[in-house]
Every structure is written in C-alpha cells, then in structure tokens.
Amino acid sequence: MGGFSLEEYRSRISKIVDYVNYKDLDGFLVFNPYNVFYLGLYYYPGKRPVVIFIHKTGKTYGFTPKMEYHEACKLKQLDRVYAYDDDYSSKADLYDFLQRNLKSLHSGINRVAVDELDLNGYKRISEIFSHVSIDDHIMNLRKIKSAEEIKMLKLSAFYSDYIVDKGREMLKPGVTELGLLNRMITETVDKMILDLGEIIYVPGGPAGALVPSGIRTCMPHALPSGKKVEKGDTMILSCGTNVWGYRTECERTFFVGEPDKQRIEAFEAMKKAQQYAIQLMKPGAICQEVEKEVVRYITELGYGDYIKHRTGHGKGLEEHEPPYIAAGDETVMEPGMIFSSEPGIYIEGLSGFRHSDTVLITEDGCEVLTKFPKDLEYCTINI
C-alpha cells in the first residue's frame, strides 16, 4: 500500500505558506518530529534533529543529519536537502549550519515562526533572526483531518479492532501480561504486512497496547508486567495501531471468568458513560462542555469519586494530541476532527473499567471508527 499523495503534501505546505504570508513572516521552521512526519519526512527521532524550512515563496528545504540525507532526497515535496555532520566538531553545529544555508538560499530572511524549541534552541535561533515566534499553526492544521488522513485512520481502526480480538482469543489464566502483549503485537503486525505490504515504523511501532490485569487495572496507564493473569481478574486491553503514522485506539475491559455484582455494576456504568460521550460528539459541541456533562452523568450513576482522567483526546500522528475533551479546552468540535471516547471508572483495590473508541466528527454527527463489541457477555471470557 502506498502512502500519501504528493498533492496531499503540497496542499499541507501551501496552507503553511498562506499563513506565513498572512503573518508577514519570511518562513516557518519545523522542528517537532510529528510535524516533520506531517510534511512527509519519516525518521527515527533522537539526538539528531531533522528540520524543515518553508519559505514564504513556497520553496521547502530539508536539513538532516547525513544518515537521513539520501532518504530525504527522495521526497518530491522538498526542493532541496542539506546534510549536516553530527559529530562534535565546530562545523557540526546545527544552528550555524541552518544560518549558513538559509542565508545563502534567500536574502532577507529575518522574521520566522518555529513550531517548538527548547530554551537553548530559542536562544540560538534568536541570534540568527530578528523576529522569532513560537507558533502552533501546524498543530492547528493537524486537528482537521483531510480525506486521505481519514482513509488512513479508518484502516488503522480496523487493525486496532484486530489486535483487541487477538488479545481476547489468547486471554486465559496463566498467561503473563507481557507474553500476551508480545503475541498480540506479532499477530497484528504480521497481518498488517500481509495486507498492506509497506509499513512505516514510527515511535511506538505499528501496533502496541497496555494490558493491565487484576488490581493493576486501577492504574489507567499501567505498564505491562510479568504478572500472570488469574481466574477472576479484570483485564483491560488498551490497544492501538497506526497506518502511515496515523493512530487509532480500541480499548475494552474484559473479565477472566464470571464477574461479581460489584464489577458488573461498575462495568455497565462505564459502558453507558462511554456511549453517552459518543452521543455528545458532534459539530458545534464544545470539548469542555462534553467533559462536564460526562462527569455529571458518571457522578449521577454513583461513580463520581472514581474518575481519574479526562473523557477523551485528539488522535492522529500522536497518541494524544489536541483537542482534548477535558476541562478548560474550549475547542469547538468540527467535521474532520478525531477523538477518543474513554471515560473510565477506577475503584482502588478492586478494578478499573474503561472502553475506548476512536470517533470521527462528521457533518451531521459522528462516526465510530472502531467496531469491537462492548457488551458484558462478549467481554467475559468463559473458563
């Protein structure tokens, strides 16, 4: 399977160019790895930054360490690529390298926007340009998904369902969390390769999960462990996959054997709240108001003291990205936005309970991209 079209990448660049000119800037420097991915240059983020500069004329340049140079040169949306040394010699300084090459390319580059920098980076860039603004415009563009992005996300949602299904098949007493996780990932990645052919490896890999069992489900982001699953455990399969870097999630709460009344009641309350959150997601809804209403609903069901996190968050190139269905986020939902819906209930000493789906805001409501069953019967493993 091929990735995004050249037209898609050029459209993204064009929107940034329009913004640069609207703001009376000379260009935009892109440092954030996920924004670099957004412009089509995939690489392994580490201590060797990859930088893209978009000039107000639309000319687009890549600045990479030598180890990334030849791959970057294949990208038709980049007009030219420059490779810097990544040793400790004086000529290897990234900021001096940027200054030398940008000044030679275009005269009069004085006013630039930058997506993100650490304190030292900001100091160095400010020594090069007379005006530097930290600007989240690219992240704002990423909030609204294009038709090509939605296609990738729908494919990803299929595999997010698939990895949960594989986990359910293998879930039984005696399996360890890590053992289960590894087999789930292997089965899913093998299928993705068979179906799609080419797989882009971004941070976190093509597929992954958190797989807490027993009382460890009370920790929403409990890291996988060597704990053995036992009869009577609650287990949360918190799974996700990505296609060309675009991530979805599907999470389901399971019971290993018949659950008791207390667990059933909490499970059903969580399931109702998660579905209610989905019903509230539509164009014009305000993120913080959805959060407020879901919290009210859970509280009315008697579980208000057991909430540990927000109702949901944006999905895309990052696992968690804006907007957030959380107190204080005044974002108005628009068609093309993608959210998780995952209100959870966590009763210390007993269990945590959380389903999550990936939801697309449409013109007249929303579409749930993940389809895995959520009912108690299907989520109970008979042993």
Q: Tell me the mean pLDDT in the region 107-114.
A: 94
The share of the chain scoring above pLDDT 90, in percent, equals: 91
Q: What per-residue confidence (pLDDT) applies to 107?
A: 86
Q: What per-residue confidence (pLDDT) applies to 4?
A: 96
Given a contact cutoff of 8 angstroms between Cβ atoms, the answer to whether 52 and 39 are in contact is yes
Q: What per-residue confidence (pLDDT) applies to 204?
A: 86
Quickly count: other Cβ atoms within 10 Å of residue 24's Cβ. Answer: 9
Given a contact cutoff of 8 angstroms between Cβ atoms, the answer to whether 368 and 350 are in contact is no
d(CA 81, CA 50): 11
Beta bridge partners of 42: none
Residues of the chain with CATH 3.90.230.10: 144-381
DSSP code for 197: S
Of the candidates 263, 157, 166, the one whose C-alpha atom is nearest the C-alpha of residue 211 is 166
Q: Tell me the mean pLDDT in the region 357-375.
A: 98
Site of tokens 């179906």: 195
Q: Would you put residue 328 in left (φ > 0), alpha (ψ -120 to 50) or beta?
A: left
What does the mean pLDDT of the chain come to? 96
Residues of the chain with CATH 3.40.350.10: 6-142
Of the candidates 169, 166, 177, the one whose C-alpha atom is nearest the C-alpha of residue 213 is 177
Q: What per-residue confidence (pLDDT) applies to 1?
A: 66
Structure tokens at 28: 């935009």
Architecture of domain 6-142: 3-Layer(aba) Sandwich (3.40)
Confidence of residue 120 (pLDDT cuts 50, 70, 90): very high
The pLDDT of residue 143 is above 70: yes
Q: What per-residue confidence (pLDDT) applies to 236?
A: 98
Pairing of strands 207-210, 234-243: antiparallel
Structure tokens at 123: 């100091």
Centroid of chain to Cα 169: 26
Q: Tell me the mean pLDDT in the region 229-238.
A: 98
For 32, the 3-state DSSP assignment is coil
Q: What share of the chain is helix, strand, coil (3-state, %, to 5)?
A: 40, 25, 40
Q: What per-residue confidence (pLDDT) applies to 44?
A: 86
Angle at 102 between CA 97 and CA 104, to 5 degrees: 100
Given a contact cutoff of 8 angstroms between Cβ atoms, the answer to whether 277 and 295 are in contact is no
Report pLDDT digits (tens) over 287-336. 999 999 999 999 999 999 999 999 999 999 999 999 999 999 999 999 99
Q: What per-residue confidence (pLDDT) applies to 92?
A: 65
Angle at 22 between CA 16 and CA 27, to 5 degrees: 50
Structure tokens at 31: 């440092």
- Is the model more confident about 93 or about 191? 191
CATH of 144-381, one of 2.60.40.420, 3.40.190.10, 3.40.1480.10, 3.90.230.10: 3.90.230.10
Q: Where are the alpha helices (DSSP H) in the chain?
A: 6-22, 33-38, 66-72, 94-105, 119-128, 137-143, 147-170, 177-196, 261-280, 287-300
Report pLDDT digits (tens) over 276-290. 999 999 999 999 999
Structure tokens at 82: 């420059």
Q: What per-residue confidence (pLDDT) applies to 203?
A: 86
Angle at 142 between CA 211 and CA 132, to 5 degrees: 115
d(CA 171, CA 181): 10
Residues recorded for the chain: 383
Report pLDDT digits (tens) over 27-66. 999 999 999 999 999 998 888 899 999 999 999 999 999 9
**One-letter amino acid for residue 316 of the chain:** G
d(CA 218, CA 95): 46
Of the candidates 289, 285, 298, the one whose C-alpha atom is nearest the C-alpha of residue 342 is 298
The pLDDT of residue 89 is above 80: no
Report pLDDT digits (tens) over 334-348. 999 999 999 999 999
d(CA 89, CA 349): 56
d(CA 360, CA 145): 9
Q: What per-residue confidence (pLDDT) applies to 298?
A: 98
| Lowest mean per-residue pLDDT among 42-46, 81-85, 266-270 | 42-46
Q: What per-residue confidence (pLDDT) applies to 282?
A: 98
Structure tokens at 78: 């980049």
> Is 0.85 topped by the overall pTM?
yes
d(CA 230, CA 383): 11
Report pLDDT digits (tens) over 181-226. 999 999 999 999 999 998 888 888 999 999 999 999 999 999 999 9
Which phi and psi angles does 126 have, rounded to 5°? -65, -20
